[in-house]
Amino acid sequence: MKLDPLSVPYRAGESVVRLAWLLVFFVFGSPAVGGGISGITGLVGAWFVVTLAYQLVYYQRFEYELTDETLDIRSGVVSRRNREIPIRRVQNVDVSRNVVHRLLGIAQINLETAGGSSTEASLKYVSFEEAERLQSELGRLKRGESEPGTEPAPERDLFTITPKELVLLGITGINLRLLSFVTVLLPIIAPSLRERFADPLLGLAVTAPIAAVAIVVVTAAVSGVLAVTNYYGFRLSRQNDDLQYERGLLQRFSGTIPLEKVQTLTISENVIARRIGHASLAVETAGYAPSDSGSQSAVPLAARDRVVTLAQSVEPFEELSFERPPNRARYRYVVRYGLIALIAIGVTFGANRLTQLPFAWYVTLGLLPVVPVAAHLKWINIGYDVQSEYIVLAEGFWTHTVTVVPYYRVQTVVDAQTVFQRRRNLATLVVDTAGSSGLTGRQPRALDIDEDRAAALREQVADRLQESLLTRREQRRRERLESIAAGPSAEPT
């Protein structure tokens, strides 16, 4: 099979767009070149011809074939590369289409495999009909259905985002990381506004807060718009043992989440969402690249009860009842936040004495009564719940997360102590799965629990891991025997 012929001019156009900024800099930045718009046009045209020729050769030498066992891909212009991707290792098949893709009738397919550190294979680009066919066929082969004509099981709708929920998502979906732009834009905007005041100090005192608020508002608006466009038309359904989703306004995504590959479920709610009783659900598998964090949003935003019910339909965990860390953990947070407050007070006081600027440094003393409140809020949002088949871990105030980890998905369990934790006989239990980022990255954990309890919990989780693996192995053996007894036609491939 070949890629879609329209992939040739589109990929060439992508290459030109990626280098457009370099061409503009080259033409306008070098007096010796000159040429202005005509020079840019000539360079763009020449580059497009070169890349078009390259993409034409790439198209001719790129072939793929889907067999009952593997997806075979042969590619390469200068050097040849032949790959055989076992169907049984394919975990996620994602189809994405932006506005131009939809106009041209093409799509991109990304395949993720178990244990892969990056996207295993990407087909850029095939027709949309071919993308749907490949997605369907790969799903059929993963389920072990040998006949292409087998009627697929009907889809069952699980969740469709409503206009109200989409608006709430735009309000609650503020990306706090975008607030870093405040530190970049504020020094640029504030001086121009300050010039309107005769007193420079008064101008700074008035314009700096106004500019900061304006930037925060714009940042919130931009992040809200991005959230709305990313999850416009979000729909989640279930077919056989796969979750299927589609979403996006400008760029449309669709894909599958195999239930048997689910590593963890995470229910999260930021401060705003928690105030209105809403939350989101993320399903994590082991097949995504690190840049994707291994997670797919199963529910971008809905009423919390509805989210918990849907999560329990994926992994039937029990009602949650968290055990909190000991009170000495709360005292630890009081000391930590108290030191931070004292440092802030000391810095502002020192700046006032050394620079002789007449600003009210003593306002920072207001941080001291906030310290115990912040410590209590952190403590009350941490906990763990040991269930018969799952361990559930909770943490976070600004964004509160509840992570459900099946025992049979656990890979390592570690109880670790920092120098400060050892002074108060506390420890952190880290539960690592194939979908998490390892011991140095994002992973489910129980923070600041009693060190003896952490050691006992580590052994308990390890024991239940072995028990759950034995149970699943015995269940699969019984299913295989029942399938063989039912006849050769029912035997799984």
Please write the tens of the pLDDT for every residue from 364-382. 899 999 999 999 999 999 9
The yes-or-no verdict on residue 383 having pLDDT over 80 is yes
Percentage of the chain lying above the pLDDT 70 cut: 78
Amino acid identity, position 163: P
**What is the chain's mean pLDDT, rounded?**
82
DSSP readout, 186-231? HHHHHHHHHTTSSSHHHHHHHHHHHHHHHHHHHHHHHHHHHHHHHS
For residue 440, pLDDT over 70 is answered with: no
pLDDT value, residue 316: 93
Which pLDDT belongs to residue 441? 46
| Section 14-24 average pLDDT | 74
- Mean pLDDT, residues 129-154 taken together: 78
Q: What is the pLDDT of residue 469?
A: 87
What backbone phi and psi angles, to 5 degrees, belong to 427? -155, 165
- Whether the pLDDT of residue 140 is over 70: the answer is yes
Measured distance CA(136)–CA(141) in Å, rounded: 9
Single out the residue of 309, 158, 162, 315 nearest to residue 245, CA to CA: 158
403 pLDDT higher than 70:
yes
- pLDDT of 76 > 90? The answer is no
**Nearest-angstrom CA–CA distance, 93 and 126:** 14
How far apart CA 429 and CA 444 sit, in angstroms, is 9
pLDDT at 296 over 80: no
CA–CA separation, 137 and 126 (whole Å):
15
Residue 170: the pLDDT is: 87
Q: 322: which 2 tokens?
A: 């968290």
pTM exceeds 0.85, yes or no? no
Q: How far apart are alpha carbons 272 and 399 in whole angstroms? A: 9
Contact 318, 387 (CB under 8 A): yes
Environment class of 6 (CB within 10 Å of its CB; exposed 0-12, middle 13-18, buried 19+): middle
Cβ proximity of 384 and 394 under 8 Å: yes
Q: How far apart are CA 296 and CA 180, in angstroms?
A: 26
pLDDT band at 27 (very low <50, low <70, confident <90, very high): low
**pLDDT > 90? residue 195:** no
In this prediction, residue 191 has a pLDDT band, given cuts at 50, 70 and 90, of low
How far is the CA of 246 from the CAs of 207, 230, 357, 382, 468, in angstroms? 44, 10, 56, 33, 33
Q: Is the pLDDT of residue 190 over 60?
A: no
Top-confidence range, 39-48, 284-293, 327-336, 439-448: 327-336
pLDDT of residue 438: 43
pLDDT at 196 over 60: no
Radius of gyration of the chain from Cα atoms? 28
Kindly tell me if the per-residue pLDDT of 295 is higher than 50: yes
User: Could you tell me how many helices (H) and strands (E) the chain has, helices first?
Assistant: 14, 19
pLDDT of 402 > 60? The answer is: yes
Beta-bridge partner residues of 269: 400
Residue 128 has pLDDT above 90, yes or no: yes
Kindly state the average pLDDT of the residues 106-112: 92
Strand partners, 433: 410
**Sign of the alpha-carbon dihedral angle for 169, 172, 174, 175:** negative
Q: What percent of the chain has pLDDT over 90?
A: 47
432 contacts 438 by C-beta, under 8 angstroms: yes
Residues in the chain: 493
* Amino acid 293: pLDDT: 44
In the structure encoding, which two tokens stand for residue 211, read together?
A: 């500019």
CB contact at 8 A, 323 and 384 = yes
329-352 pLDDT, tens digit per residue, is 999 999 999 999 999 999 888 877
CA 24 to chain centre: 34
Contacts of residue 260, defined as CB under 8 A and 6 or more positions apart, other chains included, come to: 241
Task: Calculate mean pLDDT across residues 165-181.
Answer: 75
Encode burial over 34-72: b for 16+ CB neighbours within 10 A, e otherwise: eeeeebbeebbeebeeebbeebeebbeebebebeeebbe
152 pLDDT higher than 80? no
Q: Are 395 and 382 in contact (CB under 8 A)?
A: yes
Of 131, 132, 130, 112, the C-alpha closest to 121 is 112
Q: Is residue 5 predicted with pLDDT exceeding 90?
A: yes
Give me the mean pLDDT over the 48-56 stretch.
91
Mean local confidence (pLDDT), 387-407: 95
